[in-house]
Amino acid sequence: MIEHRRRAQRHDRRRSARALPGNGAPASWPRRRPAHAYAHALAATLLVAGLSACAADYPQTTFHPVTDFGARLNDVLAGAFWWMMGILILVEVLLIYVIVRYRDRPGRGEPRQVYGHTGLEVIWTLVPAAIVVAIAVPTVRTIFAIEAPPGDDAVVVDVIAHQWWWEFRYPQYDVVTANELYLPVGRPVHLRLRSADVVHSFWVPRLGGKRDTNPIPASAVQRGDGLNQLIFTISEPGVYLGQCAEYCGLSHALMRMRAVAVHEDAFDAWVQLMKAPPAPPEGSLAARGQEIFMRSTCIACHTINGTNARGLIGPNLTNLGDRWTIGAGVLENTPENLAAWIRNPQAVKPGALMPGTDAGPGGLPPTNLSEDEVGAVVAYLQSMRTPRQQ
Ligand code: CUA
């Protein structure tokens, strides 16, 4: 009977509650979210995380290296990762077991104290020490392996970082290029890294780890002292994206590069084309552009092989028409973009040292090229295009 009355009272309360605004509860009552709201939030989070993991394209992944160097680094990482996962699981399981098994209950006294227990002290000193050794030995072996001097057949490339572009010199071939690093597949590569100004860092993730490029006095460079190096052999042809990985000033984020790995015969063909770039056909717009380029201030900073342009301050522009991008990966290499770059480089890359047509940075004189002349110079630079991109 009492139970019946109680139920009726509860029913009345619920009915009057429904009549109140705000889902029945007076504003002063603490609100509780229903459990299914949390479940929905969790499901949504997992869905977003899962879907974002499905994106197919990770051009700068470190997990799929194409060099022996990158593979070795990944092995060290994987070894340390699995040790850490094992320790994490062991510790968490023990922790949860102890929390449940030895929780305080009424009437329980103080647990047995093990402070200063020799056996335990020995175990938790020796076991971690053994794990550190198990991680350190393969790590040190890897350091020696990746620092081993390359054989005589290695392709040597001097990588010189500038604010904000990359210079690549091939002393064995007497070839210099910028921002797109051609390398042969299946042959050791020896990069000797330095900087022309501040500290930068060379990083093409699929080729392996990053490495700082430091400013070094010219005398040290002559002796081969103080150069950082990277040594690796690429196993797969492809175009691998990279970027500067050390903050180096205003346009640090606009200091990108590509490594172009090709088979050895294609590499040799590229070297030959770099040594003797195609000359523009006589009477063409490109030929006029070449003439304008050679009599303007462009040649104070830029080299084009086989011509009188021998400036060394800016990027070597030989076969520029071949490159995918200009401005160290900032713009796609199209006639429109190249013209925009020549007109006003600072609009594209803040802090760039190249003068525009109407103004130069830091007191440098402008190039004073007319719109017509810009068009001709663009035609000239774009005409230096070898069969690869056609
Ligand atoms: Cu160069 Cu950051």
Using the 3D structure, point to which of 230, 248, 275 is the last residue of a domain.
275
- Tell me the C-alpha distance between 272 and 4, whole Å: 99
Q: At what angle do helices 118-147 and 68-101 cross, to 10 degrees?
A: 170
Q: Contact at 8 Å (CB) between 155 and 187?
A: yes
Does some domain include residue 24? no
Q: Are residues 342 and 207 in the same domain?
A: no
Ligand 1 neighbour 231 (Cβ under 6 A): no
Q: Are residues 267 and 289 in the same domain?
A: no
Using the 3D structure, point to which of 275, 305, 323 is the last residue of a domain.
275
Of residues 23, 45, 26, the one with CA closest to residue 34: 23
Q: Kindly give the number of the ligand 1 atom that is closest to the alpha carbon of 163.
A: 1
Q: Are residues 265 and 314 in the same domain?
A: no
At 30 the pLDDT is 57
Ligand 1 neighbour 255 (Cβ under 6 A): yes
Ligand 1 neighbour 373 (Cβ under 6 A): no
Instruction: Extract the tokens encoding 244.
Output: 């500067």
> Which run of H or E residues covers position 264?
helix 264-275
Q: Kindly give the number of the ligand 1 atom that is closest to the alpha carbon of 161.
A: 1
Instruction: Extract the tokens encoding 317.
Output: 């522009």
At 229 the pLDDT is 94
* Adjacent-strand bridge partners of 67: 234
Number of domains composing the chain: 2
At 195 the pLDDT is 95
- Tell me the C-alpha distance between 351 and 361, whole Å: 8
Burial of 202 (0-12, 13-18, 19+ CB in 10 A): buried
* Adjacent-strand bridge partners of 153: none
Q: Kindly give the number of the ligand 1 atom that is closest to the alpha carbon of 255.
A: 1
Q: Contact at 8 Å (CB) between 208 and 230?
A: yes
Which residues of the chain register pLDDT less than 70? Answer: 1-33, 55-56, 387-390
Q: Kindly give the number of the ligand 1 atom that is closest to the alpha carbon of 248.
A: 2
Cis peptide before 164 (omega within 30 of 0): yes
Helix H, strand E, coil C: the string for 177-222 is EECEEEEECCCEEEEEEEECCCCEEEECHHHCCCEEECECCHHHHH
Ligand 1 neighbour 200 (Cβ under 6 A): yes
Q: Contact at 8 Å (CB) between 202 and 161?
A: yes
Q: Are strands 238-244 and 180-184 parallel, antiparallel or unpaired?
A: unpaired
> Which run of H or E residues covers position 167?
strand 165-170
- Tell me the C-alpha distance between 72 and 78, whole Å: 10
- Ligand 1 center–CA 159 separation, angstroms: 13
Instruction: Extract the tokens encoding 275.
Output: 């040594």
Ligand 1 neighbour 251 (Cβ under 6 A): no
Q: Can you give the residue range of the structural domain that contains 365? A: 285-389
CATH of the domain at 137: 2.60.40.420
Instruction: Extract the tokens encoding 35.
Output: 């459990």
At 22 the pLDDT is 46
At 134 the pLDDT is 94
Ligand 1 neighbour 246 (Cβ under 6 A): yes
Of residues 175, 220, 225, 166, the one with CA closest to residue 196: 166
Q: Kindly give the number of the ligand 1 atom that is closest to the alpha carbon of 164.
A: 1
Of residues 315, 190, 163, 316, the one with CA closest to residue 244: 163
Q: Are residues 150 and 229 in the same domain?
A: yes
Q: Are residues 295 and 336 in the same domain?
A: yes
User: Mind giving me the DSSP string for 90-119?
Assistant: HHHHHHHHHHHHT---TT--PPPP-TT-HH
Q: Contact at 8 Å (CB) between 188 and 68?
A: no
Q: What does each C-alpha distance from 115 to 30, 111, 118, 120 come to in angstroms?
A: 46, 12, 9, 9
**Backbone torsions φ then ψ of 224, nearest 5 degrees:** 75, 25
Q: Are residues 334 and 203 in the same domain?
A: no
Q: Are residues 271 and 328 in the same domain?
A: no
At 19 the pLDDT is 45
At 110 the pLDDT is 83
Does some domain include residue 32? no
Cis peptide before 166 (omega within 30 of 0): no
At 163 the pLDDT is 92
Q: Are residues 347 and 266 in the same domain?
A: no
Q: Are residues 159 and 213 in the same domain?
A: yes
At 21 the pLDDT is 46
